[in-house]
Every structure is written in C-alpha cells, then in structure tokens.
Structure 1
Amino acid sequence: MQKAIVYVISAVVAVLVASSMLFVVDQRQFGVVYAFGQITDVVTEPGLHVKLPVPFQNVNYIDKRLLTLDSTDSEPMLTAEKQRVVIDWYVRWRITDPSNYIRNVGLTELAGATQLNRVVRNAFQEEINKRTVKDLLSLKREALMSDVQKEVLNAVKSSKPWGVDIVDVRLTRVDYVEAITESVYRRMEAERKRVANELRSTGGAEGEKIRADADRQREIIIANAYKEAQQIKGEGDAQASRIYAESFGKDPQFAQFYRSLEAYKASFASKSDVMVLDPSNTDFFKVMRNGASSVPGKK
C-alpha cells in the first residue's frame, strides 16, 4: 500500500515537472526564456517548446504584432510664427528584437508605448517649431511626418537600441488652441458678414438700376404708344372730315339729317340724361317736328 502511494506521488511530481518544462508560443508572440533573471533564449517560432522547470527557467511573452500608439496629451506646440497649435498623431510600431527591448525598454508593451510617446512628441515639437501653420495644413505636412519618423528611428536605434521598428508616423489633426480658435471663428464670422453685406448692397444697387431702367423703358413705350395713337386718331379724324366734306358736297341735306341723328343718339345715350328744350323754337327737334317731309329725298 505504501509503495502504491509512493508511485502515485512520484507520478504526480513527474507530471508537474513535465508540465513546467513545456510551454506554448502563439504565432502572435515572442517567447522569452529566463534563467535566474537572465535571458537565455528567445523563441520566435510558434508551437510547443521545452525549458528547464521552475525555478531554473521561466518564460515571458511579448507581442510581435503591429501596434498602434495614439497621442494622449493636448498640450499646445509653438510654430515658427509663434502660433500655439494642438495636434493629434499616431504611430504604427512593432517589437523586432525582444532581448534589446527587455534590456533597454521594459517587460511589457505598455513600457515601450510610454517611452515612445515621449520621443514622438519631442520630435513633433522640434519639427513644428521649424514650420508655419500654413505648412502644417498644406502638402508640406508629408515632409513633416517623414522627418519625425526619421528622428524617432534615430532615437530608438541609438547606442542602446530599443529593439523596435517604426513603421509609420501620421499627423491627423492640427488646430489652434481653444482661445485662438474662438478668435479665429469670430474673425471668420465678421469677414463673412462683411462679404454678405457687400453682396446685399451690390444687389440692391443693381436692383435699383434695373427698376429705373424698366421705368424708363415703360415711359418710352407709353409715350411712343400715345404718339402712335394720336397719329392714328388724327388720321381717322382727317379721313372722317374728308368723308363729311364729300357728303356735304354731294348732298348737304342728307348730311345735316345724319348729323342730327348722331346728335340725338349722343344726347339720349343714358337713361338719366335730362334735357329741357322748347320743341317749337329749337332746331334740335326740327326733323321730329316736320316729320317725313324734312327727310332728304322726301316730298
């Protein structure tokens, strides 16, 4: 019975020792093997690997994927013309040499991100000090980002290399500080209002000009129409007078009779017209008074 217990305990110890000697490296990680605090091996290939049991050796894992570091502070920077601007940026980086990274940076990705943030910010500050706001907003910003990337690479590959690679550096936003931004917005608003007022005044002047020209043309058209109407009326009156004259010349009696009828017609055009006349002493009713005998051609 005691031998069986010994065998079981031995088997358990053997399993524990064997499990402490095996470790798995993921394809997204580096496996760093330590022996009493010193790096003895860096495993780059994924799979099952063997090491000495704890406490003789232990293993730590570091991410080998492409990492992104975003800017976190909003402290303003000075441009070449001493304008205070706030920028946003990001960096794409990866760990390429775990040994150098652990010796010179730290054991985790966070340690590298913290130090890299400081280096990138200092590089941006140095490059922005050389450029104007116009440069930061134009195509020259590409040159700025390239120069920053070079400076950061020089910093991480110095006499104590970090064991990292800087893949890309991007400047995503450039803006004035809040106080200056408000002032810029007010100036832009005032400028837009000035342009709007200028356009309104120009439009008003053009409108008055168009209305004046339309009124002038209207008066000219009315005057020309009145002139033509008077000419036509004069021609009609002349023709009427000529016809009347011819009528008088051919048959004066009939012309007088026709004129009398026209006068009757004009006199009694309205029911409300009232005339007080003496028929016996008035030539107006001569035709009515004489009857058919006064009609031309009648005997």
Structure 2
Amino acid sequence: MRNCLLLIIIIVLFSLFGSLFLVEEGERGIVLRFSKVLRDKSNNPVIYKPGLHIKIPFIETVKNLDTRIQTMENQADRFVSLEKKDLIVDSYIKWRISDFSRYYLSTGGGDISQAEILLKRKFSDRLRSELGKLDVKGIVTDSRNRLMTDVRNALNNGTSGEDEDIQVITADNTIASDSDRVENDFHNSQASINSNSMNALGIQVVDVRIKQINLPTEVSDAIYQRMRAEREAVARRHRSQGLEAAEKLRATADYQVTRTLAEAKRQALIIRGEADAATAKLYADAFNEDPEFYAFIRSLVAYENSFSNKNDIMVLSTESDFFRFIQSSKNTLVNSSQP
C-alpha cells in the first residue's frame, strides 16, 4: 500500500512538472499537440506570453521563439548598376518574428537558419533589382535611403506579378510555395497578405542597410592607375610651371644684379671723374697761384717715389734738371756756412 501511494505521488509530481512550462522574457511560446500548432476556437494559434503556463503532459510540447530583433549579416556580393558597372555591396538586415505560427510552419520548426536562407534569397534578388534601376551616383548619395525603403517594403509586402526580373520572380515563387503550404495548414487563407512577401512567412523586416559599397578589385585597380597617372600629370605640370617661374625669377635677379652693378660702376666713374676734375682744378689753381711752389711740391713727390725703393738704380747727371732743387738747397747750405 505504501509503495503504491509513493508511486502515485511520483506520477503526480512528474505529471505536474511535465505540465508546467516557462516562457522567458523576450520570447513567445507556441504549443504543439501531436506536432500540430494548438489553435483556439477561432482557428487562431495560441501564443503564450512570458510567464509560467500549463500544458497537457506527454501530448503537448512547447516551442519558444525569440521575439527580439535579429541581425542578419549578408556576405558582400557583386551587383550591377544602371550604367552596367559592377559594385561590391556589403549589407545587413534587421528582422523579427511577426506571426509565430506562420514562422514556425514556414521554417520547419522555428529554425533561424532556414528563415535567414529564405530572407537572404529574397533580399539579394530584390536588392539586385533595385540597384539595377539606379546609377552609381544615385546609389551612394540621396537615393540610397529611398532604395533601402523600397527594398524593405518589397520584402514585407511582396511584389506584384508585373515584376519582370526573372531572379526576383524565382525567389517570389519559392516564398509563395512556402506560404501556400502555411495557408493550407491554416485552412483559412488571408487574402490581405501577399503570398510572396516575408509577412506570409511570419517575418517582418525592420530595417535594411548598406554598410559599404566598393568597386571590384580589377575595376578599382584600373581606377587607381588612372588616378595615379592623372596626379602624376598634374605633378609634372606643376613642376614645369615651377621651373619656368624659377627661371623667370633667376633671369630677373640676374638682370637686377647686372643693372645694379652697371649703375654702381657708372656712378663710380662719374664720382671718380668729378674727383679727378676737382683734383686737377686744385692743382691748376695751386699752379696759377705759385708756379715755383707747385713745381717744388711736385719734385718732392717725384723724389719720394724715386728714392723709396733702395734696390732701384738711377743713372743721371748731377746737372740734370731733376736734381735742381737738391742742387739749389746744397748751394744754399754752402753759402750760409761761409762768413
């Protein structure tokens, strides 16, 4: 009896713990009954908010889905602009779950990697289509924000059947097939949701952004080579202009030096001529005042110049007129010595 009671207690406790489940903050829970999403009387999925809840043990299982915004980094891919120029675009997507039951059914059990595969395929084809409508200038300037808005709206709301891009149509058909499978499970197709939109899969794209736009390596190398050639041409032009300006400055400086030296020489000759004229005038005035004294001074200067160097030898007659002042001074000394 005691063993039976203990067994019953264990079964009750095990059933109690098996019937309780916890949904953490930032998550939503959906209950699966025999692998089917549990629905209410209105055929709407039953979604459990954060907290402690009860389910039927062994029959129902719980799948918790993240309600937070997810970030999907896209690998840089090659796209073609309106001018048929290749661009390497690096981007990312912010998305969240908008319909948990649709998301669970479309991703095969709430697999994030499967959701990102569908989202990446749709995003890549839609971005390729939108970039093909713009030139490079429009992509990197003001049209970029409008481009991101158009891509986000196309992902959330889907595209019309008039879209002629084969790749976009292919991606839309893939999403539409998954959406039809979800609608069949609902047994209540909602005409307000486009079957080729991400909303049909329970996914809402919050934001789409382009992080970086680069040119392919072969194109960027060619552009860099052209830019380098242009810069080198500009540098050569500046150097030639600098050399020309230097030659002009050098020629101007040489001209100014030559002109200054010539002017200085001219002024020196004028001053020297004026000085010589003044000297000659002084000599002439002195000669006119006292010719004898002038002759005497000139003779003294001649004596000084002639006898200053002892190595010089002069052979002259003592009766020469050159020594007349010496002879006259000698005679004067002799006469003064006699009584």
Question: With structure 1 as the length reference, what TM-score do the two structures score?
Answer: 0.86
Deviation (angstroms), 1:218:
1.4
Structure 1 residue 43 and structure 2 residue 79: aligned? no
Gaps of 5+ in 2: 39-45, 159-174, 176-192, 333-339
Shift of 1:88: 0.6
Change (3 A) 1:121 1:246: same
Out of 213, 216, 233, the residue aligned to residue 174 of structure 1 is 213
Q: How far apart are the structure 2 equivalents of 1:293 and 1:18?
A: 167
Residues 279 and 285 in structure 1, CA contact (< 8 A), matched pair in contact too:
no
Mean Cα deviation higher: 253-262 or 160-169: 253-262
Q: How many pairs were matched up? A: 287
Q: Could you tell which deviates more after superposition, 29-38 or 160-169?
A: 160-169
Of residues 265, 282, 288, the one that matches 1:226 is 265
User: Counterpart of 2:133 in 1: which secondary structure?
Assistant: coil
4+ runs deviating over 6 angstroms: none
- CA distance in 2 between partners of 1:265 and 1:24 (Å): 135
Question: Are 2:161 and 1:158 aligned?
Answer: no
Report Cα offsets for 1:40-66 as digits up to 9, x if no partner.
Answer: 22113x221211112x11111111111
Q: Evaluate the alpha carbon distance shift between residue 225 and residue 180 of structure 1 in structure 2; reply closer, same or farther with a 3 A threshold.
A: same
Q: Please give the alpha-carbon distance, in whole angstroms, between the structure 2 residues aligned to 1:277 and 1:123.
A: 122
Which secondary structure state, in structure 2, belongs to the residue aligned with residue 12 of structure 1? helix
Task: Give the unaligned 5+ runs of structure 1.
Answer: 295-299
C-alpha RMSD of the superposition? 2.6
Paired residue secondary structure (2:201): coil
Match of 1:22 in 2: 20
- Alignment deviations for residues 4-42 of structure 1 (CA, whole Å, 9 cap, x no partner): 333333222222211111111111211121111122221
Q: Which residue of 2 aligns with 1:131?
A: 134
* Change over 3 Å in CA distance of 1:57–1:286 after alignment to 2: farther
Tell me how far apart the structure 2 counterparts of residues 259 and 77 of structure 1 sit (CA, whole Å): 109
- The 3 A distance-change label for structure 1 pair 9 and 283 is farther
Q: Distance in 2 between matches of 1:168 and 1:51?
A: 36
CA distance in 2, matches of 1:86, 1:6: 72
Does residue 56 of structure 2 align to residue 52 of structure 1? yes
Normalising by structure 2, report the TM-score: 0.76
Structure 2 SS opposite 1:90? strand
- Matched residue, 1:297: none
Taking the aligned partners of 2:87 and 2:114, their CA distance within structure 1 comes to: 28
**Does residue 277 of the first structure (1) align with residue 314 of the second (2)?**
yes
Match of 1:5 in 2: 3
Q: How does 1:171-210 map to 2 (within 5 A)?
A: 171-210=210-249
Which is further off, 199-208 or 127-136? 127-136
Structure 1 residues 21 and 285, CA, compared in 2 at 3 Å: closer, same or farther? Answer: farther
Residue 125 of structure 1, CA deviation: 0.5
Matched-pair contact (CA < 8 Å) for 1:69–1:91: yes
Structure 1 residues 292 and 142, CA gap change in structure 2 (3 angstroms)? farther
Q: CA deviation at 1:260?
A: 4.0
Give yes or no for contact 1:62–1:109 (8 Å, CA) kept in 2: no
